[in-house]
Amino acid sequence: MSFPIQRPRRLRRTETLRSMVRETSLTPNDFVLPLFVMTGKQQRHPVPSMPGVFQLSVDEVVKDAKLAFAHAVPSVILFGLPEHKDALGSSGWDAHGPVALAVRALKDALPELCVMTDVCMCEYTDHGHCGKLVQSRGQTVVDNDATLELLAREALCHAEAGADVVAPSDMMDGRVAKLRKALDEAGHSEVALLSYAAKYASGFYAPFREAAGSTPQAGDRRSYQMDPGNAREALREVRLDVAEGADMIMVKPALSYLDIITRVRSEVDVPVAAYNVSGEYAMVKAAGANGWIDEQRVMLEILLSIKRAGADIILTYHALEAARALGA
């Protein structure tokens, strides 16, 4: 018996056919928009390495969130730019700091918006590291257990302001269990935890560090962020965080770690987020500005690849422009 020659191209002939059989599709509901919030009013400072991204005062954060929400982007994540920095990052749990103020303003203006907050010390410490520094074996290192106490204070501050989701990005061991316990004991059991479970020590973060003012003053973060060569370790980190109570987990960066997203997606049954980080965004913007690529097409292709790899949620600076491109 002979069989007809298979011709997959038949289903690619028209856009209608292509859309009917498309396995993975993007919608604005997939996106979370990162926003950098500072003190003051009517402040909108451009980030040179991230065209279209700004450091925003609380009133401007509300404006941008409203615009994104109007285009069906359901969530934002806030990063704080404090007026004061110290060795412990005490501005991170300031109830009158920019993040807490922005959370309250956003929940007043847009009750249905899902407001996430980044929980880490690097934006608030004068040394730029993600926790308390101590001397150990002749080296300056981040004290893991002492940092957990600081992270818990920050998470509680955000929860009390009204955050829907707190997202620890510090990569300290045991932080998910510590934050879950602190939130529950303070009456915030409804606040969800999105853990940066597999966060790699990446060169793609440089524009973010300019935007957030979080570049380490000495050394780097390789002793607590993951080595880019490791994949099995990512699964171990993810399993630990889920066991400690993470409601969602994240892989960061996204584009160079699509294989990790796929492996993590097959490992856990909680939602998987991926962070399309600042360096990935900046490269698209630079190449687009030089006319080297079709910027919108490449942007959507990258975001689609992240979702196809297995991400349920994509944190991306492209969120608003992608939503517009998708017709929302």
Task: Just list the catalytic residues.
Answer: 199, 252
Phi-psi region of 52 (alpha: psi -120 to 50; beta: other; left: phi over 0): left
Distances 98 to 47, 55, 84, 90 between C-alpha atoms, Å: 18, 11, 11, 13
Dihedral angle over CA of 51, 54, 59, 63, nearest 10: 20
As beta bridge partners, residue 54 has 46
Read off the tokens for 286: 């630079």
CA 233 to chain CA centroid, nearest Å? 20
Burial of residue 143 (CB within 10 Å: 0-12, 13-18, 19+) is middle
DSSP state of 315: E
Read off the tokens for 227: 């080595």
CA atoms of 292 and 246, how far apart (whole Å): 41
Tell me which H or E stretch contains 206.
helix 206-212
At how many degrees (to 10) do helices 278-289 and 295-309 cross? Answer: 150
As beta bridge partners, residue 125 has 86
Coil/strand/helix, residue 147? helix
